């Protein structure tokens, strides 16, 4: 178990200067039997009551309000993502529950080579939606060993590269269409490609919980993101980003990550294997700040 308390104190101390969301209005509470799915960002909103706490009955207006209040997403942007997710092709009917998003078809949140979830085919029990601490810790350890102290777009590109390489090596059913890039560096937008969602998620993570939010200094950005994935709750001191996320800003960030990813040399197989076969979760905890994240 994580020693969450000391880590929480550390985060409070490191984020003293920001205006937090009113915790009293949005305490963490996950009722028994609640529906949760593969998207930590939406799970957090249900855990804090921005979405219905049972994770069910989700409609566009409910999501627009929650994503605007908690993440400063523009309603148009939410509507676009919603339209891609819930339609006759994906078979995700409205209203939906968070666990419905684990469907493994084109155009949906669940995709292979996730940074925190197993591929369906390589998990022990066909679980493609639960948080896997080893897998996530190993991804962070990989970029720490490359010398990154913060989780910026370059580090995120390296993590995506690692996870794609591992899925290519270990998942015989790996399905992961990649996006192409225009000569000017912008993405060819194609939501039928799983990489579209993988890059979009990476962009959200950086903008919501990373140093781009203005919340973190260079070191805490990685600790906060680890906190967010591990606990599915807001890091202490979290506030919505000051800059509203729109389709334009999200695509620009995704293109930035993709641009760096495209220029990386192949990862040697023994290196990818090392960050697959070893459990770095204990080592990572130490490196995230001495005794701050005590895993035992």
Residues at the site binding ligand NAG, with contacts judged by CB under 6 A? 102, 104, 118, 120, 123-124, 126, 128, 132, 134-135, 138, 148-150, 152-155, 276
Q: Which of 154, 162, 165 is nearest to 258 (CA)?
A: 154
**Least distance in Å: CB of 133 to ligand NAG?**
8
Which is closer to ligand NAG, CB of 102 or CB of 258? 102
Which is closer to ligand NAG, CB of 120 or CB of 227? 120
What contacts 54, CB < 8 A, 6 or more positions away?
Answer: 31, 33, 34, 35, 46
**Least distance in Å: CB of 150 to ligand NAG?**
5
**Least distance in Å: CB of 222 to ligand NAG?**
9
Which is closer to ligand NAG, CB of 76 or CB of 127? 127
Which is closer to ligand NAG, CB of 78 or CB of 118? 118
**Cis, bond preceding 95 (omega within 30 deg of 0):** yes
Which is closer to ligand NAG, CB of 48 or CB of 111? 111
| Residue with nearest beta carbon to ligand NAG | 104
**Least distance in Å: CB of 20 to ligand NAG?**
26
**Least distance in Å: CB of 225 to ligand NAG?**
14
Which is closer to ligand NAG, CB of 16 or CB of 243? 243
**Least distance in Å: CB of 277 to ligand NAG?**
8
């Amino acid at each position: 178990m994580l020693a969450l308390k000391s880590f929480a104190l550390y985060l409070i101390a490191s984020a003293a200067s920001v205006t937090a969301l009113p915790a009293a209005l949005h305490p963490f509470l996950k009722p028994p039997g609640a529906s949760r799915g593969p998207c930590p960002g939406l799970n957090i909103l249900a855990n804090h009551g921005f979405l219905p706490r049972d994770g069910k009955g989700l409609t566009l207006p409910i999501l627009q309000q929650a994503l605007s209040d908690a993440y400063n997403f523009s309603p148009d942007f939410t509507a676009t993502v919603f339209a891609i997710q819930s339609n006759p092709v994906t078979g995700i009917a409205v209203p939906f529950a968070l666990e419905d998003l684990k469907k493994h078809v084109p155009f949906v949140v669940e995709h292979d080579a996730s940074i925190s979830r197993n591929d369906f085919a390589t998990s022990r029990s066909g679980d493609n939606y639960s948080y896997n601490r080893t897998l996530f810790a190993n991804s962070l350890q990989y970029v720490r060993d490359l010398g990154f102290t913060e989780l910026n777009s370059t580090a995120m590109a390296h993590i995506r590269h690692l996870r794609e390489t591992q899925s290519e090596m270990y998942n015989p059913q790996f399905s992961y269409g990649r996006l192409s890039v225009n000569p000017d560096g912008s993405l060819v937008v194609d939501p039928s490609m799983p990489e579209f969602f993988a890059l979009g998620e990476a962009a959200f993570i950086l903008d919501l919980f990373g140093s781009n939010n203005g919340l973190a200094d260079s070191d805490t950005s990685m600790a906060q993101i680890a906190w967010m994935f591990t606990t599915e709750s807001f890091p202490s001191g979290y506030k919505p980003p000051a800059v509203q996320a729109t389709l334009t800003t999200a695509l620009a960030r995704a293109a930035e990550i993709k641009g760096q990813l495209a220029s990386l040399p192949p990862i040697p197989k023994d290196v990818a294997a090392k960050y697959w076969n070893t459990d770095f979760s204990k080592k990572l905890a130490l490196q995230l700040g001495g005794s701050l994240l005590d895993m035992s």
